[in-house]
Amino acid sequence: MSKLPESTVPAKADSAIAAALDSAREAATKAAADFGVGDYLGCIAEDELVGTHFFACTHPGYPGWKWAVTMTRVPRARTTTVDEVVLLPGDDALLAPTWVPWSERVQPGDITPGMLLPTPDNDPRLEPGYTGGEMAPDEDPAEWAQTRALVAELGLGRERVLSVAGRNETAERWMLGAPGANNAATKLAPANCVTCGFFVRLGGRLGALFGACTNEFSPFDARVVALDHGCGGHSDVVSDERVPEASAPVYDTIGIDHPIFG
């Protein structure tokens, strides 16, 4: 039989430490407080004069955990000393899930009223926009004031805008989600949204694939929908019934209207 290397030979349990069971339980009970100390689970040798006693933890929130009382003694002395008492998980212990950074724990829809979710300054979904304010105001105030006004009318004037990667990521997420065509509403719809009178196409490049629903009776009202999305509220589904005709307008030729905007 081959001999194990010296570094892997298990230490021999010290008889004085192994016999100090009562002292170990007393130390565990003092440290456990309301957590409770249960059955004795054995003793292992950590080193030549160091050993650890184990006791079950009886707390219902810590199944499979055990109290570890590490003890030692001075050479040629009979008195043992408690080094430390810790609560350790056993093989079948209930453990907390692996810690995940906050930035990775945030899920879609987690932003609530009053909550701020900063984006990194190098967020790949965004790229620098054009604000019309790159030129100092005192260079040519009149000319650049007109430029900034035009920029605002064009929907620009933002410090950052969607990048190509941001648009692609958004389009893929929307296509695979509820706005896309892979859902029961679309499969049972009489036609697609692109032919519906309640469909309003988005501006920009995303408008090539998406729009918004304006049918108040549709479950997708005020939501983004794809061109090939659909629901039962399509405008081409026409009823034989007609809404009551509006009465003829009555003109007031005596009263004076007050302007809404002064």
pLDDT in tens, 161-215: 889 999 999 999 999 999 999 999 999 999 999 999 999 999 888 999 999 999 9
Q: Does residue 198 or residue 131 have the better pLDDT?
A: 198
Is 50 exceeded by the pLDDT of residue 47?
Answer: yes
Averaged pLDDT of the chain: 84
Helix (H) or strand (E) holding 22: helix 21-32
**What are the strands of the beta sheet with 50-57, ordered from one edge?**
37-47, 50-57, 65-73, 80-89
Q: Are 161 and 129 in contact (CB under 8 A)?
A: yes
Model confidence at 149, pLDDT cuts 50, 70, 90, reads low
User: Is the pLDDT assigned to residue 217 strictly greater than 90?
Assistant: yes
pLDDT of residue 9: 44
| pLDDT at residue 245, rounded to an integer | 74
> Would you place residue 38 in the very low, low, confident or very high pLDDT band (cuts 50, 70, 90)?
very high
| pLDDT-derived band at 6, boundaries 50, 70, 90 | very low
Flag whether pLDDT at 7 surpasses 50. Answer: no
Stretch among 18-32, 103-117, 240-254 having the lowest mean pLDDT? 240-254
Going along 135-196, which residue ranges are E strands?
A: 160-162
Cα separation, 36 vs 39, in Å, equals 10
Question: Which H or E run contains 116?
Answer: none
Mean pLDDT of 93-105: 84
**pLDDT at position 238, please?**
87
Helix (H, G, I), strand (E, B) or coil at 219: coil
**Distance from the first to the final alpha carbon of the chain:** 105
For the ranges 98-102, 135-139, 249-253, the lowest mean pLDDT is seen at 135-139
Whether the per-residue pLDDT at 4 is higher than 50: the answer is no
What pLDDT is stored for residue 3 in this prediction? 43
Reduced to 3 states, what is the DSSP secondary structure of residue 142?
helix
Whole-prediction pTM value? 0.53
As a whole number, mean pLDDT of residues 26-52 equals 92
